[in-house]
């Protein structure tokens, strides 16, 4: 019983210290409907203005308008001025601090056969929401996150080209973890963008990468004269920062990650590192698959600065 309580307290403390704050982001969108006609087309602008709204359906006449970055209809832009005594709508959501919309649109198309996030990786969350999904993707070293179908959290490293503009009203499924928020819909995603480089790529104080692109050739003889193989201690949690931490604890001032799950420590290079194309360091870190931890006999090197 005592053990359980301690464990729960530990989890709570770790949760608080490791937890990032949340922030609310809002942007103007087209009104959901006008005069009984649902929103049909929506083009949103990076400066917060609403470029185009079209409403039609049920035999009702086409209606259109644009709104400025304060949410007011732009004079002369509307099909009928008296339809637009109201302002633009506002769409708000909670995200992890440092995250914001991934592009102008609130809602974009995303299908299994044509994924919109580069290196799309689905994370299982029992309580999905923009705040939970951006937190999960942040911790895993990804720079993009997207919610879909209410329950799905996707992580990625970029947006592929050709995001289709679809109205925000089509991303209408409630999030499984917060019913006051929407989490996309079937084949429709709400996408967010976080810090780049990601927080998971930050190194402990006083350490830096060997070079801007720190990927070097390794061999069976190993990079360091005094090699300490810390890999097995980390394996599933390996990241450059976790490897450096373990090397610090064991008294080394150089570290290298390789093959996704390997971590090496040392104090002396066997010979001057031969830098190779960073593209050879292409194995996702086991502990943060959004970032890379070396490759096949390709090691990413870090040292005290
Ligand atoms: C649920 O979402 C609403 C709207 O974004 C937000 O105000 C609220 O803080 C969220 N609840 C939790 C528990 O995060
Ligand atoms: C978005 O996908 C739907 C199918 O789910 C398709 O009918 C529609 O044309 C797509 N929208 C755009 C703007 O490409």
pLDDT at site 59: 65
Last residue of a domain, one of 161, 180, 196: 196
For residues 8 and 139, state if they share a domain. Answer: yes
* Model pLDDT, residue 3: 36
Nearest ligand for residue 26 CA? 1
Query: Do 138 and 158 share a domain, yes or no?
Result: yes
Residue nearest to atom 12 of ligand 1 (CA): 178
- What domain count does the chain have? 3
**Pocket of ligand 2 contains residue 164 by CB under 6 Å:** yes
**pLDDT band, residue 12 (cuts 50/70/90):** very low
Write the residue with the smallest CA distance to atom 13 of ligand 2. 164
The residue out of 142, 177, 196 marking a domain boundary is 196
Which range has the worst mean pLDDT, 87-101, 121-135, 142-156, 226-240?
A: 226-240
Question: Closest Cα to atom 9, ligand 2: which residue?
Answer: 164
For 48, the domain range is: 31-86
- Residue 14's pLDDT band (cuts 50, 70, 90): very low
For the Cβ of 41 lying below 6 angstroms from any atom of ligand 2, the answer is: no
Q: Is the pLDDT of residue 121 over 60?
A: yes
Residue nearest to atom 5 of ligand 1 (CA): 93
Ligand 1 atom at minimum distance from 93 CA: 5
> Are the C-beta atoms of 52 and 43 separated by less than 8 Å?
yes
pLDDT at position 274: 97
Nearest partner of 148 among 112, 118, 113, 119, judged by Cα: 112
Question: Distance from the CA of 142 to the center of ligand 2, in angstroms?
Answer: 26
Asked whether 23 lines ligand 2 (CB < 6 A), one says: no
Q: Of all atoms in ligand 2, which is nearest to the CA of residue 164? A: 13
**Ligand minimally distant from the alpha carbon of residue 41:** 2
Model confidence band, residue 77 (pLDDT cutoffs 50, 70, 90): confident
23 pocket-lining for ligand 1 (C-beta < 6 Å): no
If asked whether residues 290 and 179 sit together in one domain, one would say: no
The pLDDT of residue 87 is: 85
Positive or negative CA dihedral for 21, 174, 166, 43?
negative
- Give pLDDT, residue 5: 33
The pLDDT assigned to 85 comes to 66
Average pLDDT of the chain, as a whole number:
89
Task: Please choose, from the candidates 183, 188, 191, 189, the residue with its C-alpha nearest in 3D space to the C-alpha of residue 127.
Answer: 183
Does the Cβ of 291 fall within 6 Å of ligand 2?
no
What is the pLDDT, as a whole number, of residue 47? 87
Residue 214 and residue 73 in one domain: no
The domain boundary residue, chosen from 196, 230, 261: 196
For residue 129, report the distance from its CA to the centre of ligand 1, in Å: 9
Question: 74 and 10, same structural domain?
Answer: no
| Ligand 2 centroid – CA 109 distance (Å) | 6
Which atom of ligand 1 lies closest to the CA of 24?
5
Same structural domain, 94 and 1: yes
């Amino acid at each position: 019983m005592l053990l359980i309580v301690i464990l729960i307290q530990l989890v709570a403390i770790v949760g608080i210290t490791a937890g990032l704050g949340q922030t609310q982001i809002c942007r103007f969108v087209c009104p959901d409907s006008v005069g009984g006609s649902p929103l049909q087309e929506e083009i949103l602008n990076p400066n917060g203005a609403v470029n185009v709204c079209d409403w039609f359906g049920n035999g009702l006449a086409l209606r259109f308008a644009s709104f400025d970055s304060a949410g007011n209809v732009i004079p002369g832009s509307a099909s009928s001025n008296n339809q637009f005594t109201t302002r633009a709508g506002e769409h708000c959501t909670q995200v992890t601090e440092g995250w914001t919309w991934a592009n102008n649109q609130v809602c974009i198309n995303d299908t299994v056969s044509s994924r919109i996030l580069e290196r799309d990786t689905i994370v299982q969350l029992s309580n999905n929401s923009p705040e939970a999904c951006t937190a999960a993707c942040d911790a895993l070293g990804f720079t993009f996150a997207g919610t879909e179908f209410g329950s799905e959290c996707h992580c990625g490293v970029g947006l592929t080209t050709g995001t289709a503009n679809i109205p925000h009203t089509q991303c209408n499924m409630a999030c499984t973890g917060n019913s006051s928020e929407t989490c996309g819909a079937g084949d429709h995603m709400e996408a967010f963008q976080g810090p780049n480089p990601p927080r998971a790529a930050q190194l402990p104080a006083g350490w830096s990468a060997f070079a801007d692109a720190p990927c070097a050739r390794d061999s069976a003889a190993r990079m360091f004269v005094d090699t300490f193989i810390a890999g097995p201690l980390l394996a599933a949690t390996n990241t450059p920062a976790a490897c450096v931490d373990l090397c610090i604890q064991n008294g080394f001032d150089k570290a290298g990650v390789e093959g996704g799950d390997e971590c090496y420590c040392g104090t002396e290079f066997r010979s001057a590192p031969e830098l190779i194309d960073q593209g050879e360091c292409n194995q996702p870190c086991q502990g943060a698959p959004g970032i890379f931890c070396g490759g096949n006999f390709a090691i990413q090197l870090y040292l005290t600065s």
